[in-house]
Amino acid sequence: MRITRIETFLVPPRWLMCRVETDDGVVGWGEPVVEGRAETVRAAVAELSELLLGQDPTPIEHHWQRLTKASFYRGGPVLSSAVAGLDQALWDIAGKRLGVPVHQLLGGPVRDRVRVYGWVGGDDPAELADAVAARVESGLTAVKMNASGVMGRSATVREIDGVVERLARVREVLGPDRDVAVDFHGRFNAATARRVLPLLEPLRPMFVEEPVLPEYGHLLEEVVRCSPVPIATGERLFSRTDFLPALQAGVAVAQPDLSHAGGISEVRRIASLAETYDALLAPHCPLGPLALAASLQIAFATPNFLIQEQSIGIHYNRDAELLDYVLDPGVFAFPDGHIRRPEAPGLGVSVDEDAVRRADRKGHRWRAPVWSHQDGSFAEW
């Protein structure tokens, strides 16, 4: 068996998919993308493909080591995401070749279902409450919300009160039997995060995500120390070495993204590293069907797993939806807030290749919004 062709597809709303084909007809799929930089990652996949074409796809670890280390310049979001998608595709091929789902190749399942959550938008508390009610109606038992909209790095009293009010309205809708996570998106400075976190504890959020920007990771320990709320981070960390300082700082939840952090091969190692720090795994995934499918394979084989993000119905999905590119949408159904363990081989999902190729002809040019404060300085989105 040899790899004969590697293709990429730029599909709405903001995703990139890759297809790896072998000479005996087995095809693997992956999702290598950085949101807003899909074309850049596409170029990186094309370059890395030179290391895979003509090779046996079976030695996945050998390929991962070569893709990540056979160059003087390593790591970063673009290269790590390109590797991630190719790695997913190689695991997909391995599972299909052996007739088993990937989680069986990772040591077998440790659970039969995986709890999932959905993201909710809305800056106005009443609007946010309506969005949460709709998510509950869809079957979810957990949601994630932004702590705030655009705000100054050092928050005003009104802005701080607004964060608490928003969370209080959401807790009112959810009641005591459902969960909410709060995403700070690194929009606060460390001092503001330290002020806000204790105010949220009476509302019992499941965790608070990215209380500070990843480049201020050296401040994370003092934020964790002052917080009665579990701290999560990781969507902008791309390797074990990136995660190690955050885990040493005491974060409770690690959030690697299967399409950014080196794919299945690296995220399984990040999960094991997190377990040695008594931290749980909650993979980040506001992306498409292949990223979610890969995340679920990790979830089913990871003892210290907490919950899985999924993007069905997220506000980014304006021109297409996650289910538009799969032949069996039922594989991602969550009637009771959980997705059942897939039995299909590989990543466990059948891609609608015709839909993907049609979408690629349309393509997309999704870009992250550029936010700025009144003084002209830039803000986190």
Which domains, ranges and CATH numbers included, belong to the chain? Answer: 3-100 (3.30.390.10), 104-346 (3.20.20.120)
Catalytic residues: 185, 284
Q: Using one digit for the tens of pLDDT, what is the confidence trace for 295-344?
A: 999 999 999 999 999 999 887 788 889 999 999 999 999 999 999 999 99
Peptide bond into 13 cis (omega under 30): yes
Cα torsion angle, 227, 231, 236, 238, sign: positive
The pLDDT tens digits of the residues spanning 67-92 come to 999 999 999 999 999 999 999 999 99
* CA 315 vs CA 75, 128, 329, 363: distances in Å: 30, 13, 19, 19
Q: pLDDT of 180-195, one tens digit each?
A: 999 999 888 999 999 9
Give the model's pLDDT for residue 381. Answer: 61
Q: What is the pLDDT of residue 187?
A: 87
| Structural contact between residues 209 and 183, judged by C-beta atoms closer than 8 angstroms | yes
Residue 235 neighbours by CB under 8 Å, 6+ apart: 209, 210, 255, 256, 257, 260, 284
- What are the residues facing 18 on neighbouring strands? 8, 30
113-159 pLDDT per residue, tens: 999 999 998 777 788 999 999 999 999 999 999 998 877 778 899 99
Contact status, residue 186 vs residue 214, Cβ threshold 8 Å: yes
Reported residue count of the chain is 381
Contact 346, 102 (CB under 8 A): yes
Task: State the burial class of residue 103 (Cβ atoms within 10 Å of its Cβ: 0-12, 13-18, 19+).
Answer: buried
Mean pLDDT to the nearest integer, 248-260: 98
Q: How confident is the model at residue 200 (pLDDT cuts 50, 70, 90)?
A: very high
- 3-state DSSP of 31-48: CCCCCCCHHHHHHHHHHH
- What pLDDT is attached to residue 376? 66
